[in-house]
């Protein structure tokens, strides 16, 4: 797996601030023009921690904590992947 395409505060193409990490592959952001969005991080598939009807996946809490420590409060650029739809089946916007 390659590096995660996340822009930091010194990147000129900033478009959102990470408000909350939902789990290891899902974050809530405030996008500068569209407002609040739930984002699915492309290329990351972390174990479940909040899915109804499922138990907490092995290493799920650790994946969530890693995402929280790396992304909470960060300014990020939203970059779509042309090979993917803009939203997944749960309505999350893809972030690459």
- Catalytic positions, please? 40, 48, 92
How far apart, in whole angstroms, are the C-alpha atoms of residue 66 and residue 75? 17
- Compute φ and ψ for 61, nearest 5 degrees: -60, -35
CA 57 to chain centre: 18
């Amino acid at each position: 797996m390659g590096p995660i395409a996340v822009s930091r505060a010194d990147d000129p193409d900033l478009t959102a601030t990470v408000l909350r990490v939902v789990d290891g592959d899902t974050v809530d952001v405030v996008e500068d023009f569209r407002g609040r969005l739930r984002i699915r991080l492309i290329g990351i598939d972390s174990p479940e921690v909040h899915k109804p009807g499922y138990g907490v996946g092995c290493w799920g809490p650790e994946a969530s904590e890693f995402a929280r420590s790396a992304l909470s409060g960060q300014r990020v650029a939203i970059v779509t992947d042309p090979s993917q739809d803009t939203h997944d089946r749960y309505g999350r916007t893809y972030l690459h």
